[in-house]
Structure 1
Amino acid sequence: MSVKVHFLLEDLLVEAPAGAALQRIADAAGADITFGCRTGSCGTCRVRVARGLAHCNEPSPEERDFLKGLDAPPDQRLACQVSVHGDVDIEYLGI
């Protein structure tokens, strides 16, 4: 099964296998998302899941704590920590 990921800033629509890491999808598609540490500790890859938040894995306690420290709303995630299980629209926010 494949999913559709729409990177809103570039209006780039790509298909990927369900369960794929958003970081891999973005890298393969050439999406304009900057990944710093790739481990969820720097916030460089912060995104807003504009549509399909329920199609993403739940944030880990570490990611949740990191985003809470930024006062980020629930629709914001660290792209390096997201796996996609259904269609999503992604907006890159950065730091």
Structure 2
Amino acid sequence: MAKAELTFKDIGKTVSAPTGTRVIEHSEKAGSGIVYGCREGDCGTCIMDVVEGWENLSQTSIVEDRVLREQHAGRHQRLACQAQILGGKIVVKPA
């Protein structure tokens, strides 16, 4: 399985993440400050800033788009529970 390099800027930690996994899975294990409440893409607590590697994450779903709009999220913000890793290098931090 292909791997990506996922860096949590808030704690300065980089992990090797299999493609197809979601950012929140690795955030928990790494101890990042990205928090979550549901894992279903409906609550918006896990909004993160994508500092680098936007193109290395899956496209947003209809549900994620709606939640991001409701939360007035910025252009390079995603829900960690919904963003799937595609490969390459990704740098994120809590919003």
Tell me whether the two structures share a fold, i.e. TM-score over 0.5: yes
Alignment size in residue pairs: 93
- Structure 2: distance between partners of 1:22 and 1:11: 15
What is the root-mean-square deviation of aligned Cα atoms in Å?
1.2
Matched letter for residue 3 of structure 2:
S
Tell me how far apart the structure 2 counterparts of residues 2 and 42 of structure 1 sit (CA, whole Å): 28
Cα displacement (A) at 1:26: 1.4
TM-score by length of 1: 0.89
Decide whether the 8 Å contact of 2:34 with 2:46 is kept in 1: yes
Corresponding position of 1:72: 73
Deviations along 1:30-69, one digit per CA (max 9) or x if unpaired, are 3222111111111111101110111111111111011112
**SS of the residue aligned with 1:62?**
helix
Identity fraction in percent: 31
TM-score, scaled relative to structure 2: 0.89
Asked if the contact 2:34/2:93 (under 8 Å) is kept, the reply is no
| Structure 1 partner of 2:94 | 92
Specify every segment of 5 or more residues in structure 2 that has no aligned partner in the other structure, as ranges. none
Residue in 1 aligned with 2:59? 58
Any runs of at least 4 consecutive aligned residues in structure 1 with deviations exceeding 4 A, and if so which?
Answer: none
Alignment partner of 1:80: what SS? coil
Secondary structure of the structure 2 residue equivalent to 1:32: coil
Query: Which ranges of structure 1 fall in alignment gaps of 5 or more residues?
Result: none
CA-CA distance at 1:72 after TM superposition: 1.5
Aligned counterparts of 1:57 and 1:36: Cα–Cα separation in 2: 21
1-side partners of 2:33 and 2:93: how far apart?
Answer: 10
